[in-house]
Amino acid sequence: MTLAAASPAPVVEPTPDAVREAVLDVARRSRIAARSLAGATRATKDAALHSMADALVAATARIVAANTEDLDRGRAAGTSAGLLDRLALTPERVVAMADALRELAGLPDPVGEVVRGSTLPNGLRLRQVRVPLGVVGMIYEARPNVTVDAAGLALKSGNAAILRGGSAAASSNTVIVDVLARALEQAGLPADSV
């Protein structure tokens, strides 16, 4: 008996309209999340940063496995050694990403900080106060650690983040964002914050 080789499933590229709708959906959900983040206390944000750090460490094996997929694709595509090194995640690098989130939690909350102020001759007081922007978008290349850094900085400053990492780190970034989103939810903040 001869078995015919199964042909690979055709790759279906999304239409421009489908991509547009997907981006708009992410933006809408991020805007809703940003409203919750804008009013989050320092204690809530710092607890979420610690939760995110703990979740990264707990998911190290899953993150490194996804990263191995990215590295294998990169090697097959002839990616340079330098780029592969920036792309690579080891258990030690995952711990370093978690440590960066914990360090960020220890910094003062920038939201509500009075940058400068003055009083006009008529007695009117003017103050420049730091407030969240709302939703921050970021496009970056093959450095999965940037996903963690950007998500952490956005959270600390009371903003939601729409992150678009390079395709070379697609598997790593997908797992990292899933881990961070679940940790945010467990900390009482919207998963759509990142």
User: pTM of the predicted model, to two decimals?
Assistant: 0.88
Radius of gyration of the chain (CA): 21
**Per-residue pLDDT in tens (0 to 9) along the chain, 194 residues:** 344 445 555 667 889 999 999 999 999 999 999 999 999 999 999 999 999 999 999 999 999 999 999 999 999 999 999 999 999 999 999 999 999 999 999 999 999 999 999 999 999 999 999 999 999 999 998 899 999 999 999 999 999 999 999 999 999 999 999 999 999 999 999 999 99
Query: CA-CA distance, 137 to 164, in Å (whole number)?
Result: 8
- Nearest Cα neighbor of 26 from 135, 155, 101 is 135
Residues 28-193, CATH architecture: 3-Layer(aba) Sandwich (3.40)
Q: Where are the domains positioned within the chain?
A: 28-193
Identify the helix (H) or strand (E) that includes residue 128: strand 125-129
The neighbour count for residue 9, using CB atoms within 10 Å, is 6
Identify the helix (H) or strand (E) that includes residue 163: strand 160-164
